[in-house]
A = this chain, B = another copy of it.
Amino acid sequence: IEQNDGEAMAILVNDMPAPDFAEFVREQALDLSHKLLSFLAIEQRARVFGYFQPEDQKALAEQMPQATLAELLTHMNSDERADLFNQLADNLKAQVMRLLAHNEREDLRLLASYAEGTAGALMSSDYVAVPARSTVAQAFEIIRATAPSAETVYDIYCIDHMGRLVGTVSLRQLILARKEARLEKVMATEVVTATVDEAQETVANLIAHYDLLALPIIDLGGRLVGIVTYDDAMDVAEQEATEDIHRGASVQPLDRGLSTSSLFAVYKSRVVWLVLLVFGNIFSGAGIAHFEDTIAAQVALVFFLPLLIGSGGNAGSQAATLIVRGLATGEVRMRDWFRLFGREVLIAAALGLTMALAIAPIGAIRGGEIIAMTVGLTMVTVVIFGSLAGLSLPFLLRRIGWDPATASAPLVTTLIDACGVLIYFGIATALLNLPAAT
C-alpha cells in the first residue's frame, strides 16, 4: 500500500467497514486521504465521510473541486450533510448551494436553520412517511422506493393530508399484517415525539427510556419534519457523559476531543475554574492565619491539618458526585432531597467514625490524649458537615436554575476546606483551653 499500488488500495478501502476506514484515513496525510477516498463509490464515500471528525471533514471538503463536494453532499445523510455544510466558509457555502438540486438545497436550508444542541440540528429528514389511509401493500411500495436513501425503514410514520404525524407502525407489524388492511387500523396512535426546539439531551433520554429505534421530530404545528435515530442518540449520550465527567473536575466542556483541541481551547476550558478556586482557597488561608496563636501553642496540630480538611472535602465531593450523576440520569429527583439527606446523616456518621478510629491512635502517639480527642471529634464533624454540604449543593444549584454539575468535586472540596479549618481550630481551641482553665 505504501508502494502506491492502486489496485491493492482499491481492494483494501472497499473491504473496510466505514467507521474503521474513517479512523484509518484520520491517521494519513491529507493528500493520501483524498487518494484513498477516490477509490470508493460515491455512496460509500459519503458514508465514510460521515464518520470523520468535523475538522477533518472541513479540511478535506475545502480541498475538493466544488462539483465533487456538491455530489458528495447530495449522497450524505441529511443530518451529516447539514453538519458539514454549517462548517464551511460562507463564500464556499453559497457556491456549493448553487450546485445542489432543488430538494437537497431546501432540505439543507431547513436543517441548517436550527440552533446547535436542539432536536432540529440533530435530526435527519431521511425518514419513511406514508399516508395513514394507505393499505399495507401500498405502504410496502413506498418503503421499497425510499429504502435506499432512508436512515431507517423499520419505523414507518403515518401522516394525514396536512403532513401531521398521526401514528407509527413498525416494519415488523407490517410484515405480519394483512396486505389489504389500512395503516390507520394497524398503527399505534400513542406516539412519543419531540419538537424541533427540544434539547438534544432530552431527545437522547426519550430514545433510551422508550428503547426507540428513532424518535419522530415535529414542528409546532404537529407536522413531521425529521427523525433522530438511536445511533445519534448514543453519540449524544456519550458526549453528555464526557461533559459531565469533565465538569466534575471543573473542566468546562470542550467542543472537540482532547487530542484534537487547540492548546488555547484546552487552556481556556481549565483556567477559569482554577483561578476561581485559587480565590476560594484564600478563605482557608485566612482561616489558618486567624488561628495563628492556636497553632503556635500546639504545633502538632499542623500535622493533622491537610488530613482533616482533606477528608471533609473528599467525603463532600463523593456525596456531590453521587447526587449530580443521579440527577443527570433521572434516578434522583428534586423531591428526594429530604429522604437522601436523612440517609446521608447516617452514612456520613458511620464514615466519620471509621475515619476517626483510623486516625485517633496516630493523634495519641504524636500529641497525647487531648490531641487524639480533638482530631477524632474534628474528623467526625468535618465528614458529616462535608457530606451534607456536598449532597445539598447540587439540589440548591438546580433549584436556582443552574446546572447541578457546576458542583464539581474541586469546588465542593474548596468550599468545605475553608469550613474545615474553622471547625478544626474551633474544636482545638475549645478542647485545649479546657484543661488550661482547670
A residues contacting B by CB (< 8 A) are: 15, 17, 19, 140, 143-144, 147-148, 153-154, 171-172, 175-176, 190, 192, 208-211, 213, 230-231, 233-235, 237-238, 241-242, 244-246, 248-251, 257-259, 263, 266-267, 270-271, 273-275, 277-279, 281-282, 284-286, 288-289, 292, 295-296, 299, 302-307, 309-311, 313-315, 317-318, 320-326, 329, 331-332, 336, 339-340, 343, 346-347, 350-351, 354-355, 358-359, 362, 383, 409-410, 413-414, 417, 421
A172 to B145, CA, bound (A): 11
Contacts A230-B230, A277-B310; is A285 near B258 (CB within 8 Å)?
A: no
Chain B residues within 8 Å of A245, by CB: 241, 244-245, 248, 321, 324-325
Main secondary structure of the interface of A (DSSP, over half): helix
Q: Kindly provide the distance from the CB of A356 to the nearest chain B CB, expressed in whole angstroms.
A: 10
Q: Kindly provide the distance from the CB of A373 to the nearest chain B CB, expressed in whole angstroms.
A: 17
17 A-B pairs within 8 Å (CB atoms) are namely A140-B175, A230-B230, A244-B245, A246-B322, A249-B317, A251-B321, A263-B343, A263-B350, A271-B354, A277-B314, A278-B311, A282-B362, A284-B307, A296-B299, A310-B413, A310-B414, A317-B410
CB distance A144 to B249 under 8 Å? no
Q: 6 tightest A-B contacts by CB? A: A249-B321, A284-B306, A281-B307, A241-B241, A285-B303, A211-B231
Chain B residues within 8 Å of A241, by CB: 237-238, 241, 244-245
Q: Kindly provide the distance from the CB of A195 to the nearest chain B CB, expressed in whole angstroms.
A: 19
Q: Kindly provide the distance from the CB of A52 to the nearest chain B CB, expressed in whole angstroms.
A: 14
Q: Kindly provide the distance from the CB of A125 to the nearest chain B CB, expressed in whole angstroms.
A: 18
CB distance B326 to A259 under 8 Å? yes
Chain B residues within 8 Å of A190, by CB: 15, 17
CB distance B284 to A292 under 8 Å? no
Chain B residues within 8 Å of A238, by CB: 208, 237, 241, 329
A242 to B240, CA, bound (A): 12
Of B278, B347, B362, B413, which contacts A270 at CB under 8 A?
B347
Chain B residues within 8 Å of A230, by CB: 230-231, 234
Chain B residues within 8 Å of A274, by CB: 311, 314-315, 318, 351, 354-355, 383
Q: Please indicate which of the listed interface residues A171, A210, A238, A278 has the most CB atoms of chain B within 10 Å of its own CB.
A: A278
Chain B residues within 8 Å of A296, by CB: 299
A244 to B19, CA, bound (A): 25
CB distance A281 to B306 under 8 Å? yes
Q: Given contacts A230-B230, A263-B347, list 11 more A-B pairs with CB under 8 A.
A: A234-B237, A238-B329, A242-B325, A242-B329, A244-B245, A248-B248, A249-B322, A251-B318, A257-B331, A274-B351, A274-B355
A251 to B324, CA, bound (A): 13
Q: Kindly provide the distance from the CB of A187 to the nearest chain B CB, expressed in whole angstroms.
A: 15
CB distance B307 to A278 under 8 Å? yes
Chain B residues within 8 Å of A313, by CB: 410
CB distance B321 to A304 under 8 Å? no
A249 to B250, CA, bound (A): 12
A358 to B281, CA, bound (A): 13
CB distance B249 to A340 under 8 Å? no
Chain B residues within 8 Å of A17, by CB: 190, 192, 210
